[in-house]
Amino acid sequence: MPDEAVIVAARRTPIATRGRALARLRVEQLAAPVIRAAVGDAEEAMRHELTVADVVLGNCMGPGGNPARVAALAAGLGVETTGATVDRQCGSGLAAVLDAAAAIRAGDARPRVAGGVESASTAPVRSIDGVPYTRAPFAPQGWPDPDMLQAADDLARLDGIGRERQDAHAARSHRRARAARDAGRFADEIVPVAESPSQDDAVGQAEALLPRLTPLLPDGTVTAGTATRLSDGAAAVVVVPAGAVTGIRGLAVRGSAVVGCDPALPGIGAAPAVLAALEDAGAGIAQVAAFEIVEAFAAQSIAVLGRLGLDDDDPRVCADGGALALGHPWGASGAVSMLRLFSRLVRGGAPTGTLGVSAASIGGGMGIAAVVEVVG
């Protein structure tokens, strides 16, 4: 009988703004130390060596060549460990975790590493007929395909989310992240890489500037402070069958969903995905103790919360700050959201049975979400 999938370890790099502390590191150089650390944590918890079947990593703008396999080899997992790279844009890292969990639930009981990695600093320049472009189309010709900044401004206008409200949301994310950092709540999840600092470099930097920043688009309301920073970073979790972890605390995957929405408003995708994942898990919003929803833009985050019936400052949502404060390494951000649930619920000592939700909106009009429960 297929077994449940349980996350038993979770690690990440510091998150660094593009061009800064991690700028010289390729994707495998970011991912490999995190993979090694997560596997080491899992082996310590399970008290035996793991043979990892597969490494599944989200990545959006990397060099190709299957970065997950390259990172697996760089991490020293051996030639027998395979690798697969997933591209669901901002949801890639969470999609990788769900793919690993699905393999276990389908009956393959071998442990897996899953997560995401992005190096915005070393992403190759791509071109069509010799003309460089910053991103591939998210929709075919004839369909709406707005730039993400324009889409966030459009969503702010549609929902009547003004500049002051966006500034307050971003400031709150920075305050929460700074408090978490100062209290040491990030310390056990971060793996220093190369000569980088052992903390995220953007926390608190934009907070004092928020009221003085000008909108990025004419007649818009989104500023550099209410848009997340493009970032470098990696995150990984270890996923094992429940039968292998009796008495070990972890997060069991109880439900998940990937949904589509209007590509003209891609920022709202997380909301229907959360509702669908909760339905899959047989749970409701009120039962969830912790939400980690990727904050691509303040307006987008507020719009998602509104569609879920949650207040802008709901203490359950990104309680230690979100991507507005930490940064947004595209392919890794969904995995970071799951890792943050692991820290808040497992490392934080939440009771068995506590529910958490991880989610992201996705360019092109999609959303992804997972419901997890503390076990052990």
Residue numbers annotated as active site: 90, 328
Collapsed DSSP state (helix, strand, coil) of residue 255:
strand
Tokens in use for 231? 């970032």
How many Cβ atoms sit within 10 Å of the Cβ of residue 47?
7
End-to-end CA distance of the chain: 20
Question: Would you say 189 and 10 are in contact if contact means Cβ atoms under 8 Å apart?
Answer: yes
Taking alpha carbons only, the member of 46, 20, 75 closest to residue 230 is 20
Tokens in use for 203? 């926390």
Q: Which residues pair with 9 in a beta bridge?
A: 238
Question: Would you say 215 and 316 are in contact if contact means Cβ atoms under 8 Å apart?
Answer: no
Taking alpha carbons only, the member of 87, 106, 136, 120 closest to residue 368 is 87
Characterise 328 by phi-psi region: left (phi > 0), alpha (psi -120 to 50), beta (else): beta
DSSP string, 361-373: EETTTEEEEEEEE
Mention every residue, 6+ apart, whose C-beta is less than 8 A from residue 217. Answer: 149, 150, 153
Question: Would you say 219 and 150 are in contact if contact means Cβ atoms under 8 Å apart?
Answer: no
